[in-house]
Amino acid sequence: MRDTVYPLHVVDLRCENVSNPMGIACKTPYVSWKVSGNLNHVTQTAYAIQVALQASDFESGQIIWEQNEPSDASYAVPLRLNEIQEKTVYYWRVQVCVNTEHEHGLWLPWTEVASFETGFKDESSWSGKWIEADDRFYQIADEECRRYWKEKPYGDKASLNERDQGLRKLPYLSKEFQLKAGIEKARIYITARGFYELNINGHKVGPCVLAPDFTAYDKCIYYQTFDIADAVQEGDNRLDIILADGWYAGHAQGIPGNNHLYGVRPSLLMQTEIYYANGTLEVIASDSSFQATAGPLQYADLLMGEYYDLHAGQAQIFGTVERDYSMSVAMPQKGAMIVATDMLEASRVFRDAAGSLIVDFGQVIAGRERLVITGSAESIVTIEHSEELDHAGVFYDVMNTFPFHDQKNIIRFAEAQTIQYEPQFTFQGFRYLRISGLDYDNIRPEDCQAVVIGTGMPVVGSFECSNKELNQLMRNILWSQKGNMLSIPTDCPQRERAGFTGDAQIFGKAAALNMDVSGFFSRWLEQCRLEQLERGQIPIVVPYTKAYSEIEPNPGWTSAGWGDMIIFLPWDMYQAYGDIRFLAENYESMLKWMEYVENCAQETMPEKYYMDFENRHRHKYLWNTGHHWGDWQVSGIEAFQGVELTKEITASLFYYRAARTMMLISKELGDSHHYEYYKALSGHIYHAFHEEYLAEGKLAAEEWQGAYVMAIAFGMVDGDMKDAFAKRLNEMVVKQDYHLQTGFLSTPFLLETLWNCGYQETAYRVLYNDTPPSWLYQVKQGATTMWEEWEGIDRDGLVKGSSFNHYAFGCVGDFVYEKIGGLSMLAPGFKKIQIRPEATENLEYAETTIQTIYGELYVKWVKKEEGLQYQVKIPHNTRAVIVGKNGQVHLGSGVHEFTI
Please report the pLDDT score of residue 159 as a whole number: 46
Q: What angle do CA 347, 353, 354 make, to 5 degrees?
A: 110
Average pLDDT on 153-181 reads: 79
User: DSSP 3-state assignment of 111?
Assistant: coil
Sequential DSSP letters for 137-166: HHHHHHHHHGGGS-S-TTGGG--GGGS---
Give the separation between CA 753 and CA 713, rounded to whole angstroms: 6
User: DSSP 3-state assignment of 662?
Assistant: helix
Q: Which residue has the higher pLDDT, 5 or 279?
A: 279
Give the separation between CA 728 and CA 732, rounded to whole angstroms: 6
Please report the pLDDT score of residue 160 as a whole number: 41
User: Phi and psi (nearest 5°) for 498?
Assistant: -110, 150
Average pLDDT on 496-501 reads: 94
3, pLDDT greater than 50: no
Please report the pLDDT score of residue 161 as a whole number: 45
Average pLDDT on 66-72 reads: 97
Which regions of 180-290 does DSSP assign to beta strands (E)?
A: 183-193, 195-200, 203-204, 221-227, 235-244, 267-276, 281-285
Report yes or no: 84 and 30 within 8 Å, Cβ to Cβ.
Answer: no
- Beta bridge partner(s), residue 515: 459
CB atoms within 10 A of CB 637: 17
Q: Smallest Cα–Cα separation from 128: which of 239, 274, 286? A: 286
Q: How far is CA 425 from CA 92, 170, 300, 328, 463, in A?
A: 38, 10, 6, 26, 34
313, pLDDT greater than 80: no
Tabulate helix, strand, coil % of the chain (nearest 5): 25, 30, 40
547, pLDDT greater than 90: no
Report yes or no: 252 and 244 within 8 Å, Cβ to Cβ.
Answer: no
Give the separation between CA 606 and CA 625, rounded to whole angstroms: 6
Report yes or no: 750 and 631 within 8 Å, Cβ to Cβ.
Answer: no
Whether omega before 553 lies within 30 degrees of 0, making that bond cis, reads: yes
Give the separation between CA 11 and CA 114, rounded to whole angstroms: 10
Q: How far is CA 103 from CA 68, 97, 100, 878, in A?
A: 21, 11, 5, 17
Residue 343, classified by CB atoms within 10 Å of its CB into exposed (0-12), middle (13-18) or buried (19+), is: exposed
What would the pLDDT profile of 584-612 be if each residue is shown by its tens digit? 999 999 999 999 999 999 998 887 777 77
404, pLDDT greater than 70: no
Give residue 581's identity as a one-letter amino acid code.
Answer: R
Report yes or no: 366 and 427 within 8 Å, Cβ to Cβ.
Answer: yes
Average pLDDT on 837-855 reads: 97
What would the pLDDT profile of 206-246 be if each residue is shown by its tens digit? 999 999 999 999 999 999 999 999 999 999 999 999 999 99
Output the pTM of the full model.
0.96
DSSP 618: G
> In the structure, what pLDDT confidence band is assigned to residue 553 with cuts at 50, 70 and 90?
low
Q: How far is CA 460 from CA 72, 478, 818, in A?
A: 23, 11, 15
CB atoms within 10 A of CB 289: 13
Please report the pLDDT score of residue 407 as a whole number: 82
Please report the pLDDT score of residue 403 as a whole number: 59
> In the structure, what pLDDT confidence band is assigned to residue 203 with cuts at 50, 70 and 90?
very high
Percentage of the chain modeled with pLDDT above 70: 96
Please report the pLDDT score of residue 851 as a whole number: 98
What would the pLDDT profile of 874-893 be if each residue is shown by its tens digit? 999 999 999 988 889 999 99
What would the pLDDT profile of 255-309 be if each residue is shown by its tens digit? 767 889 999 999 999 999 999 999 999 999 999 999 999 999 999 999 989 999 9
DSSP 319: -
349, pLDDT greater than 50: yes
Please report the pLDDT score of residue 405 as a whole number: 61
CA dihedral in degrees (75, 76, 80, 85; nearest 10)? 120
What would the pLDDT profile of 645-699 be if each residue is shown by its tens digit? 999 999 999 999 999 999 999 999 999 999 999 999 999 999 999 999 998 888 9
Please report the pLDDT score of residue 588 as a whole number: 98
Q: Smallest Cα–Cα separation from 498: which of 516, 506, 507, 486? A: 486
Task: Determine the distance from the C-alpha atom of residue 458 to the mean position of all C-alpha atoms in its chain, rounded to a whole number.
Answer: 12
Q: In this predicted structure, which of 65-74, 412-421, 438-447 has the lowest mean pLDDT? A: 438-447
Q: Spell out the SS3 assignment of 819-842.
A: HHCCEEECCHHHCEEEECCCCCCC
Q: Which residue has the higher pLDDT, 156 or 814?
A: 814
Give the separation between CA 750 and CA 747, rounded to whole angstroms: 5
Please report the pLDDT score of residue 319 as a whole number: 98
Give the separation between CA 417 and CA 800, rounded to whole angstroms: 41
Give residue 784's identity as a one-letter amino acid code.
Answer: T
> In the structure, what pLDDT confidence band is assigned to residue 399 with cuts at 50, 70 and 90?
low
What residues contact residue 425 under an 8 Å CB cut-off, 6+ apart? 170, 195, 197, 210, 242, 244, 245, 246, 297, 300, 301, 302, 306
Biggest alpha carbon–alpha carbon distance for the chain: 87
Please report the pLDDT score of residue 525 as a whole number: 98
Q: In this predicted structure, which of 156-165, 647-656, 677-686, 824-833 has the lowest mean pLDDT? A: 156-165
User: Phi and psi (nearest 5°) for 617?
Assistant: -60, -35
379, pLDDT greater than 60: yes
Average pLDDT on 722-745 reads: 97
Give the separation between CA 835 and CA 889, rounded to whole angstroms: 10
- Beta bridge partner(s), residue 226: 188
DSSP 469: H
| b/e code 58-72 from CB counts within 10 Å (16+ = b) | beeeeeeeebeeeeb
Q: Smallest Cα–Cα separation from 302: which of 168, 384, 425? A: 425
Highest mean pLDDT range out of 148-162, 487-501, 512-526? 512-526
Please report the pLDDT score of residue 885 as a whole number: 83
CB atoms within 10 A of CB 203: 11
CB atoms within 10 A of CB 79: 18
Q: What is the mean pLDDT of the chain?
A: 94
Average pLDDT on 461-486 reads: 98
User: Phi and psi (nearest 5°) for 254?
Assistant: -75, -55
